Chains A and B, each alone.
Chain A
Amino acid sequence: MRNPLSAVEIPVVDRFLGDGYVRNVMVMTFGSLALLALFGALFPESVAGDLSGAVFTGGMVAATARIAAPIVLAALGGIFAEKSGVINIGLEGLLIISAFTSIYVAYVLGDAGILTGGNAQFVGFLAGMLASMLLAFIFGIVCIEYKADQIIAGLAVWLIALGLAPFLSTVFFGSVNTPGVGNIGWQYSAAIVTVGTVVAWWTLDHTAFGTHLKAAGENPRALDTVGVSVSKIRHAGVILSGVFAGAGGSLLALGVGRFGGSGETMVQGKGFIAIVVYLFGNYNPLGALGAGTLFASLDALQTRLQQLGYGIPSSLVETIPYIVVIIVLAFVGRTRIPSAAGDHYETEE
């Protein structure tokens, strides 16, 4: 299928995005926003007017940043893992474990009077990243050293975290929901997502490590031939996925100020959406940022529409992003996964 937008030229952006597919995603995202603004300005009394009034408000930006943080950061992590050749479907689990750990550590520090307020939250943030890193490291060992099926092991990571976080919360706090530790501002989410995206993009495209990482996923034998250990690079990719997803999970929980562990926990499938987001962005960090922001803004928008009193059931509006994903996957374009992703690599003697 040809995307009619692929012919559109964007002078500055094209230099950063050598990738036609990512450009499509970006053009669609910002194009629809611009169109909405235009119609809203022309017909302020219409639905479009209401919509643009809802979209271009401070509250909307804050909500979008909060929702986008775990999705985009987990997606960045997923890119590192999959580019190196390990499909990490356990991002959801990494988000859950970091969300819980960040709140737990922040609470314990505050409760013991060691650190309070922002300092406790900051240490909690780091602790969440560390927990996610550890779980990712275990996942890496299972996949790389013990040659486990990556999809199944990733599923196990999700299930373990899904059981462990509410279990530990009940052990420590007597309930699957933790007490509150105070929430952090949305500016932190926005800043960390931006920095994370730039760092990921720079690392992948402009460092030797990034080149090695991509080689481990595309052509491990070539990497082996030049004397770089494929399994070391893959371990690094998986651990980095833990670092990024951990930052996302910590931001998610600290943004709310507590951890909710009932049902599918407060993460509620954001790790799976992250997978969609990086496929959508064709493994490009900037594409993932665009797709993740699009997703988050749709989610924030439907909350806002509820407040404006549109009589559409919220559950129905919630399905829009999911339907969009299916349509885009089917009709706009397809992504190409790294050719050695999912395969084990045996070092040649």
Chain B
Amino acid sequence: MSRSRPGAIRSRVTSLLRRFAEISGVDRVLIALAALGLSVLVGFFIVLGSGRVAECSTAAWTMPITGMGFCYDPFEVFFVLFNGALGGPFYVWEPAIFNPEWLPITLPWLGFMPGWSPFNNAFALTMSETTLLVFTGLSVAVAFRAGLFNIGTQGQLVVGALLTALVVVALAPLFPANRVGGVILIAIGILAGAVGGGVWGAIPGALKAYADANEVITTIMLNFIAANVAYVLVLEVFRAEGSSVVATADVPEYAQIGPWLFPPTGDFAEAALLIGFVSLVALYLFLEHTSLGYDLRVSGIQPLAAEYSGVNAKLTTVRAMTLSGALGGIGGSIWVLMSEGRWVESIPDLGFDGITVSILAGNNPLGVLPAAALFGVLKGGALQVGFQTDVPPELVGVLRGLIILFVAMPEFFRLIGKRLVPDESEVEPSSGDGNDGDGVGGTAAVDDGGEASA
């Protein structure tokens, strides 16, 4: 009977979508910020606590009033984490605060370190991680929007990366060894990565659509399969001669995506970030302003309504997973063409980190960039924490988990908000949906976290 009135249903679904979008706007940003603040606060106490049990000859930090000594200085850790990710622009922990030498070089009133330039290796690492996470984050986000939990971005990235490396190495002799040939090879390589990842993503999509196999499980399984099969293929067939690790031959230098301003040692290329940004905007426009994107979102929120209003749910599932896989595959291409220059066995967990990026971004493509940047900073900063302090850099892993935990519980911030700010606009908290009260709660929590950590 509903089939006879697709128009009415469509408008109802549209209003539903609009309401969903409103919840996910400002509130989501506030919740994300509150989660960040709160996890830094919890991380602060973890550092403090572990600094109490660790053994050292002199205390790195002494608590005021109590005179209690701690092996780790929690303020320094978080300062190094964020400062180190940018390559150390701020000099707070240096003795030469008032050294006049840097006065003519940098902007002293901003407190920048003498000789600091944004184009340094540490910042390049942060940016490189950010770029890769944009792709894997988008990959997870687009599947989420279609109501699918793609844990398989990691496997799609592995397959895409391998195909990119193999195709580019195989086709390199056919093109002139110059800029033009390089650009053509890069384009082909990215296309190969998208195809490889797309096919690998389409498999769980088709299994979900036509055999009703849970995509969470099949994608986890396909991750293991991708990693193992790719490893064996490279080990047995495509291994570069004389290579001590299991890796393919190098992609020729001119077919790699190189930096414009950053040092070549930093493994970051601005062009790659640009490709990521373009993909991000394109995906946003696709989801919000095309009928295919609309179908995809409706199947994510109201699968039954989608079916009634004439959306082919099975095909939409396969399409969403293919698109998701293709984005993960492109992430693999960029990893090969920008970071490594070849496929090598020790592939970082970019796909899993993509899940955390997407969750933090509220599965909105526009949120993926700041979320990826945050995790890029955590990654780049972790290395510096390892170099400059005694605190194990694994701390960053804990922070990552805490952020996701707090993002998952908006209700928590709502309750805090209610307690801190007496509610004037008594809104019925129906079925756990967010309302305007969230915003107030979120802000209050952010302020708490900020004060404690600064």
Contact = CB atoms under 8 A, between A and B. Distances in A.
Interface string B390-423: 0010111111111011011101100100000000
Interface in A139-192: 142, 146-149, 151-153, 155-164, 166-168, 170-172, 176
A269 B396 CA distance: 21
A163 B394 contact: yes
B1 interface: no
15 contacts: A146-B411, A147-B432, A151-B216, A152-B359, A155-B356, A159-B400, A162-B397, A166-B394, A167-B46, A272-B220, A315-B231, A319-B225, A323-B221, A326-B222, A334-B212
B40 interface: no
Given A152-B408, A153-B405, A159-B404, 5 more contacts: A155-B404, A315-B235, A319-B229, A326-B218, A326-B221
A322 B226 CA distance: 11
A279 B217 contact: yes
Contacts of B232: 313, 315-316
Nearest to A261: B394
Contact of B394 (A142, A176, A319, A331): A176
A275 interface: yes
A89 B228 CA distance: 23
A111 interface: no
Given A155-B355, A162-B397, A162-B401, A334 B54 contact: no
A315 to B, nearest CB: 4
B50, B207, B228, B356 — most chain A CB neighbours (10 Å): B228
B225 A163 contact: no
Interface string A310-331: 0001011011001101100111
Contact of B396 (A163, A172, A272, A329): A163
B398 A164 contact: yes
Interface of B: 46, 50, 53-54, 149, 207, 211-214, 216-218, 220-222, 224-225, 228-229, 231-232, 235-236, 355-356, 359, 392, 394-402, 404-405, 407-409, 411-412, 415, 431-432
Contacts of B432: 147, 344
Contact of B221 (A156, A167, A276, A344): A276
Contacts of A319: 224-225, 228-229
A130 to B, nearest CB: 18
Given A269-B224, A329-B214, A163 B401 contact: yes
Interface residues of A, number: 47
A80 B217 CA distance: 19
A14 interface: no
B392 A171 contact: yes
Nearest to A335: B214
Contacts of B397: 159, 162-164, 166-167
B235 A313 contact: yes
B400 A276 contact: no
Contact of A329 (B50, B211, B231): B211
A205 interface: no
A124 B356 CA distance: 32
A173 to B, nearest CB: 10
A346 interface: yes
B355 A166 contact: no
B392 A329 contact: no
Nearest to B403: A156
Contacts of A159: 356, 397, 400-401, 404
Contacts of B221: 276, 322-323, 325-326
Contact of B401 (A151, A160, A275, A313): A160
A344 B429 CA distance: 14
Contacts of A161: 401
A329 B401 contact: no
Contacts of A269: 220, 224
Contacts of A147: 409, 411, 432
B349 to A, nearest CB: 8
A316 B228 contact: yes
A342 to B, nearest CB: 11
B392 A166 contact: yes
A279 B214 contact: yes
